[in-house]
Amino acid sequence: AAEEGFDIADVEGAIEEAGHGPLPVLAVVGRPNVGKSTLVNRIIGRREAVVEDKPGVTRDRVTYEAEWAGRRFKVVDTGGWEQDVLGIDASVAAQAEYAIEAADAVVFVVDAKVGATDTDEAVVRLLRKAGKPVVLCANKVDGPSGEADASYLWSLGLGEPHPVSALHGRGTGDMLDKVLEALPEAPAQTFGTAVGGPRRIALIGRPNVGKSSLLNKVAGEERVVVNELAGTTRDPVDELIELGGVTWKFVDTAGIRKRVHLQQGADYYASLRTAAAVEKAEVAVVLIDASESISVQDQRIVTMAVEAGRAIVVAYNKWDTLDEERRYYLEREIETELGQVAWAPRVNVSAQTGRHMEKLVPAIETALAGWETRVPTGRLNAFLGELVAAHPHPVRGGKQPRILFGTQAGTKPPRFVLFASGFIEAGYRRFIERRLREEFGFEGTPIHISVRVRE
């Protein structure tokens, strides 16, 4: 590496950074108007249309990447929901429940000026049962005179209240230091606990695509409840289901069942549930209703799974209802609307008739295999060497940037770092991704490619 002009420490640093693997998840929960969204904006360090949201506006984005003191993590923002017909306690509890379930640590935000309310107490009970590390944020302490308000929150029994002004930034740094102490390096529930355990599948898709029908079909009579979430509902959360002679864990199946009381803000809950399920899963089976046009909502759900870096299978459901004309248009729509997952294994199923149910497991296994693929450095560089010689980067400003060497820094999903002599254009990066896929498979998995340029 040194003779190519890269310092060995740079190379090692780049590989370590690119190979970070899945990030731990922090959930920010609390009542409406305590300042959750303001705090999330502070944490992610940019104003990403969180607080500007007006009530009733659908928000799809609920997870953001953040970095503090050199450590990266994800933040789940629960600020975008509305009170539903069951009243404030139930709706706060429901949204907190999803977020806590998916999280490795929780920031519980309380308005220090108001003090602890009954709703806050209800969230505290949920937090106790979940047993996740909690950092108590006493928000709206905009100056020293508010510190006394914060100290009253010791009464919640969650340990030290951290006085913070999310609005002005006061105290947020100290609080984030505590968050890092509470947050594991890697997400425990996704990777730590499950080594050798059943593989985790999230069944996702917009309402009415047939998730619950499919779950019932594959589960048959064998449905086993393995775990009950403490909280407002007694729905099973994760279910062990045997398919093709193998036991799989279907995560967050409670989210699949209908919650009839969720009227207002139902889309937001759906997004939060999807994000939570995807965080917990290794592979996402995205269900699309083949009888209807592929929608923006379908695309957003696919994007969530891709951005989370999960293995992906796309299942086109309700195949029993398709006539020839619809089939024709469906194929065109898949090409134009779902190009971002052209690499995902596809199954055409009917949860109603059971059509092609037996193809689901092989597709899932294919996607997981792609997700775990590791290309040895020698093979990768032999491939890159030939590729670059046969298809050099276009000359720009009299110079020809070149890929010098590369390595795979991580798996689940595969992450590559390429080292180059100059800026590599997006088109050439895409070309390399395409050729990597042709050469090494990677069916059913997103792949990450980062490029380091020699200074």
* Binding site residues, ligand GDP, CB under 6 A: 30, 32-38, 51, 79, 139-140, 142, 165-167, 205, 207-213, 256, 317-318, 320-321, 350-352
Shortest CB 316 distance to ligand GDP, Å: 10
Q: How many CB atoms lie within 10 A of CB 189?
A: 19
The residue (of 212 and 233) whose beta carbon lies closer to ligand GDP is: 212
The residue (of 14 and 338) whose beta carbon lies closer to ligand GDP is: 338
Three-point CA angle 23, 29, 33, nearest 5°: 135
289 vs 318: CA distance, rounded Å: 6
H/E run at residue 139: strand 134-139
Shortest CB 252 distance to ligand GDP, Å: 13
Beta strands in 150-215 (DSSP E): 161-163, 199-204
Lookup: tokens for 205: 């898709």
402 vs 100: CA distance, rounded Å: 46
The residue (of 37 and 190) whose beta carbon lies closer to ligand GDP is: 37
Task: Report whether 245 belongs to an annotated binding site.
Answer: no
119 vs 15: CA distance, rounded Å: 46
Shortest CB 7 distance to ligand GDP, Å: 43
Task: Report whether 248 belongs to an annotated binding site.
Answer: no
The residue (of 293 and 321) whose beta carbon lies closer to ligand GDP is: 321
The residue (of 120 and 443) whose beta carbon lies closer to ligand GDP is: 120
Closest alpha carbon to 289 in 210, 201, 204, 216: 210
Task: Report whether 62 belongs to an annotated binding site.
Answer: no
Task: Report whether 271 belongs to an annotated binding site.
Answer: no
Shortest CB 84 distance to ligand GDP, Å: 15
Task: Report whether 320 belongs to an annotated binding site.
Answer: yes
Please report which residue ranges of 281-323 form alpha helices under DSSP H: 296-307
Shortest CB 193 distance to ligand GDP, Å: 28
The residue (of 167 and 240) whose beta carbon lies closer to ligand GDP is: 167
Shortest CB 146 distance to ligand GDP, Å: 9
Task: Report whether 41 belongs to an annotated binding site.
Answer: no
From residue 349, how far is each of 20, 209, 214, 294 by CA, in Å? 36, 12, 9, 16
203 vs 181: CA distance, rounded Å: 33
Q: What is the DSSP string of 92-113?
A: HHHHHHHHHHH-SEEEEEEETT
Amino acid at 2: A
Give Dmax (Cα) for the chain.
71
The residue (of 35 and 414) whose beta carbon lies closer to ligand GDP is: 35
For 122, the 3-state DSSP assignment is helix
Shortest CB 321 distance to ligand GDP, Å: 5
Three-point CA angle 199, 205, 211, nearest 5°: 70
The residue (of 99 and 351) whose beta carbon lies closer to ligand GDP is: 351
From residue 27, how far is each of 73, 104, 213, 417 by CA, in Å? 11, 8, 30, 30
Task: Report whether 56 belongs to an annotated binding site.
Answer: no
Task: Report whether 78 belongs to an annotated binding site.
Answer: yes
Lookup: tokens for 412: 């689940």
Shortest CB 247 distance to ligand GDP, Å: 23
Task: Report whether 317 belongs to an annotated binding site.
Answer: yes
Task: Report whether 154 belongs to an annotated binding site.
Answer: no
Residue 65 near residue 83 (C-beta atoms within 8 A) = no
Closest alpha carbon to 258 in 270, 248, 247: 270
Task: Report whether 348 belongs to an annotated binding site.
Answer: no
The residue (of 139 and 189) whose beta carbon lies closer to ligand GDP is: 139
In the block, tokens 């399920």 appear at 277
Shortest CB 109 distance to ligand GDP, Å: 6
Shortest CB 220 distance to ligand GDP, Å: 15
Residue 136 near residue 153 (C-beta atoms within 8 A) = yes
The residue (of 79 and 236) whose beta carbon lies closer to ligand GDP is: 79
Task: Report whether 216 belongs to an annotated binding site.
Answer: no
Lookup: tokens for 276: 């939570």
Task: Report whether 295 belongs to an annotated binding site.
Answer: no
Helices 36-44, 172-182: inter-axial angle, 10-degree rounding: 80
Which residue ranges are tagged as binding site for GTP?
A: 30-37, 77-81, 139-142, 205-212, 252-256, 317-320
